[in-house]
Chains A and B, each alone.
Chain A
Amino acid sequence: MRKPHLVAAAALAAASWATLAQDKDPTIAEIEKYREMLADGNPAELYEARGEELWKTRRGPNNASLEQCDLGLGPGVVKGAYARMPRYFADTDKVQDLESRLVTCMTTLQGFKAEDVTKRPYGSEDHKSDLEALTAYVVGQSRGMKMNVSTAHPKEREAFEIGKQIFYHRGGPYDFACATCHGEDGKRIRLQDLPNLTTRKGAQLAYTAWPAYRVSQGELRTMQWRLWDCFRQQRFPEPKYGSDATVALTMYLAASANGGVYNGPGIKR
């Protein structure tokens, strides 16, 4: 029953897109859409506000807020925490990025089950994601601060080295690595500019603008989402949310961006 509707909807969408493309250069239409959004302010602010509310609200089986969550600078310290993540946490004996750390706090403090929290980490219009909102709130509290991610702990160093290996690893049916698209200056896919993540300047520019409100998706997307959708386009299987492999890759990117001023949450196409 559902399929014919979907097909019809897809056909309609394709038809209207074709009409639009004839009327107006899609690139120009896209840029105009940006400007419209930017003039209205970045909708990421709404996610930040909802995230702050969620952070402070008593929730879950333990009826606890996240105000005692330790993001690395001590329980409850949010200001500046993101600019120093990922990092090693002694209580979990792991390197964690912000998102996997949020899951830890939601399980240990609030009593949620990790599998429930991470079941649908990426939200949609009718199913908003708490993790996206919480992430928006925390990253916003590092705005204007310099990225300062440590690789001093042996496990941090190891995550960085493994993350670098993942970045350069070619695989899947198309033999793509992250580096295939993000290893040289001045490259693009279609008209989309690709940051060169192997240079400090390129890594700083890209990393400090994420998470971001994605106009084309109508949602705020996190770094976990960014990697997840890159791997999809890389034709890889699906990375698990907050997994060690994604944290290691994030560690490589974040530490490469050290010294850059954090400027998120941003706004993107």
Chain B
Amino acid sequence: MNGKLIILGLGALALAGCATGMSEAESRQKALAMMKRDFQSRGIAGIDRLNEDEVQKACNEYHNNPPKEVAERLQTAQMAAIKFPADGQLLGDWKEGEKLAQSGRGMTWSDSPGSPNGGNCYNCHQLSPKELSYGTIGPSLYRYGKIRGNSPEIQRYTYGRIYNAKAYSLCSNMPRFGHVGALTEQQIKHLVALLLDPQSPVNH
């Protein structure tokens, strides 16, 4: 079912490419070269941000639907690179987590270097029912812990998923907050608490 759709999709792109005499791979390479020429470093946003890592490359080449063996190989590598807290403690303070979830700051060229990054959570997810201004790009996380419980396995899964969503689903829309250093270990712990602490408004 999915395979058929992909084949159809690739066929359409190949046809579109024929009209210019450019294959999809060629227009992709031209686009990449053009971007590297037409973008410039500004503030903390350096031009090196246009260099694809292997995950981005696979997701771009396969339209976010890589073959199973590619996805598995890269997910395993991403998973192996997750640094879990040495002290084994994964739950922080949900109140700090809520503040982080509210903040969409960080990593743009208008952010100053060294200022703490936000978690951007409410941009895409529903969390606390008290916050009505939430985005819908990601699934609702309301009652996240109530549904899943608070076991060590769930804590580890939740920490890992925030640290690097691509270790679980290679072409997930979600940023790799720990992997790229956007959030610190302590910040991720606070977010895990926001999702799992029974006292957190997410679970009321």
Contacts and interface: CB of A to CB of B under 8 A. Distances in A.
Tell me whether A and B are bound partners: yes
B182 to A, nearest CB: 6
Contact of B49 (A189, A236, A248): A236
B74 to A, nearest CB: 13
A152 to B, nearest CB: 10
B61 to A, nearest CB: 11
B173 interface: yes
Interface footprint category on B: 35 or more
Contact of B50 (A154, A237, A240, A246): A237
Q: Which of A26, A174, A176, A243 has the most CB of B within 10 A?
A: A174
A169 B32 CA distance: 9
A168 B63 contact: yes
Contacts of A186: 136
A7 B19 CA distance: 55
B114 to A, nearest CB: 14
Interface stretch (B20-28, B65-73, B145-153, B184-192): B20-28
A171 B180 contact: no
A158 B135 contact: no
Contacts of A163: 31
A170 interface: yes
Interface stretch (B52-60, B79-87, B88-96, B194-202): B52-60
Contacts of A231: 39
A157 B21 CA distance: 10
B116 interface: no
Contacts of B136: 186-188
Contacts of B46: 237
Q: Which of B16, B39, B59 has the most CB of A within 10 A?
A: B39
Contact of A169 (B31, B38, B110, B122): B31
Interface in A27-44: 27
B6 to A, nearest CB: 15
Contacts of A154: 20-21
A202 B20 CA distance: 25
Interface string A210-246: 0000000000000000000001110111111001111
A166 B31 contact: yes
B57 to A, nearest CB: 9
Nearest to A238: B42
Contact of B110 (A170, A181, A232, A248): A232
Q: Which of A168, A176, A235, A248 has the most CB of B within 10 A?
A: A235
Contacts of A232: 45, 108-110
Given A189-B123, A232-B109, A236-B50, 10 more contacts: A162-B27, A171-B49, A173-B49, A173-B107, A187-B135, A189-B124, A235-B108, A238-B39, A240-B38, A243-B38
Interface of B: 16-17, 19-22, 27-28, 30-32, 34-35, 37-42, 45-47, 49-50, 52, 55-56, 59-60, 63-64, 107-110, 122-124, 132-137, 166, 173, 175-176, 180, 182
List 3 A-B pairs, minimum CB-CB distance, nearest first. Answer: A165-B31, A243-B38, A245-B38
Interface of A: 26-27, 154, 157-158, 161-166, 168-176, 180-181, 186-192, 194, 231-233, 235-240, 243-246, 248
